[in-house]
Structure 1
Amino acid sequence: MFGVVACGILRGMSNATDTFAARLRELGVAGQVVEFDVELPTAAAAAAELGCDIGAIANSLVFTADDEPLLIVASGAHRVDTRHVARLLGVRRIRRATPEFVLAVTGQPVGGVGPVDHPEPIRTVVDRKLAEYPVVWAGAGRKHAMFPTSFEELVRITGGLPAEVEKS
């Protein structure tokens, strides 16, 4: 289903990446985790390494929504309009989470957060713009690991709400 990228792939996976990959298999995800010899902490860096459109990068961004964790899986081509998403979700305020909060609620570092494999489920919104791409690449819990997936699969594995995250 998904092509494998031949550039910059590491030989073996770390324990954390093995754990993430096992979680993907449990969820029935078709794509496999790919590790790179460079960190890919931004959508631009990931798109450049993968040779794909920046919009095909699925950024897993952690926010607080009325002091509760909120994960927004957004196209790398978008900036999340937090006021718009707050209205959609019926919450008062959405703010970007601190790196410490992100690590505490996801178990993963900023720049490497994946859409799944968190200690507890996180309320999730998935950007509808990702549906424009047959293959999207999402973080795999580390700054140098990603996996290919699809919009539909992201919605399924996260239990996320498909929504426009950037106000038109």
Structure 2
Amino acid sequence: MSYDSVKKYFIDNNITNEILLLQESSATVELAARALGREPGEIAKSLALKLKDGKIIVLVVCGTARIDNRKYKDTFHCKAQMLTVEETLAATGHPVGGVCPFALPDGIEVCLDESLKKYSEVFPAAGTGNSAVKFTIEELENAVKGRWVHVTQDC
């Protein structure tokens, strides 16, 4: 169902990037990089996080990035709190390993981390643990209407 919702999101938003359905798993950065023949940093890792007020965000970072606790707290005014596997599916409609910044329920903000700008192209998932989509940074920004933040350690 998650893949279908992403496909519909692409159609509804006139996004023509091809969704790649892979034979092997792309559920982790390492698996996705291997399956796509790309560097781990080029994988756009999507993290579902809960803010202090209960609001859910999806933070998209480059595959090798790690959250900098101080920067995160300065930006969001709370500690980073990842959702559980069950909470992630319930909140985003996407399973862990397929979380992406597309076809999210209303009220979930997408934040794009500056670490993505290190690459000309990145590959977020498309709702499943064996899918990916190639985007330039500008295409991704336009596709998700995300807010830029800088909450990762410099890599």
Q: TM-score, normalised by structure 2?
A: 0.89
- The count of aligned residue pairs is 153
Which residue pairs with 2:91 in the alignment? 105
Q: Does 1:88 align with 2:72?
A: no
Q: Give % identity.
A: 27
Q: Helix, strand or coil: the match of 1:120? A: coil
Q: Does 1:75 align with 2:62?
A: yes
Q: Distance in 1 between matches of 2:150 and 2:69?
A: 11
Q: Does the aligned pair in 2 maintain the 1:82–1:95 contact within 8 Å?
A: no
2:19 partner amino acid: V
Q: Distance in 1 between matches of 2:118 and 2:49?
A: 24
Q: Does the aligned pair in 2 maintain the 1:112–1:140 contact within 8 Å?
A: yes
Structure 1 residues 81, 122: CA separation in 2 closer, same or farther (over 3 Å shift)?
Answer: same
1:109 partner amino acid: P
CA displacement at 1:16 relative to structure 2: 4.2
Q: 1:99-119, CA deviations, whole angstroms, 9 ceiling, x for partnerless residues?
A: 111101111100111111122
Q: Does the aligned pair in 1 maintain the 2:72–2:79 contact within 8 Å?
A: no
Structure 1 residues 147, 121: CA separation in 2 closer, same or farther (over 3 Å shift)?
Answer: farther
Q: Does the aligned pair in 2 maintain the 1:131–1:152 contact within 8 Å?
A: no
Bigger RCO of structures 1 and 2 (CA < 8 A, at least 6 apart): 2
Q: Does the aligned pair in 2 maintain the 1:105–1:120 contact within 8 Å?
A: no
CA displacement at 1:132 relative to structure 2: 2.4
Which residue pairs with 1:22 in the alignment? 8
Structure 1 residues 94, 32: CA separation in 2 closer, same or farther (over 3 Å shift)?
Answer: same
Q: Provide the aligned C-alpha RMSD in A.
A: 1.7
Q: Distance in 2 between matches of 1:132 and 1:24?
A: 25
CA displacement at 1:160 relative to structure 2: 1.5
Q: Gaps (5+ residues) in structure 2?
A: none
Which residue pairs with 2:125 in the alignment? 139
Structure 1 residues 52, 62: CA separation in 2 closer, same or farther (over 3 Å shift)?
Answer: same
Structure 1 residues 166, 20: CA separation in 2 closer, same or farther (over 3 Å shift)?
Answer: same
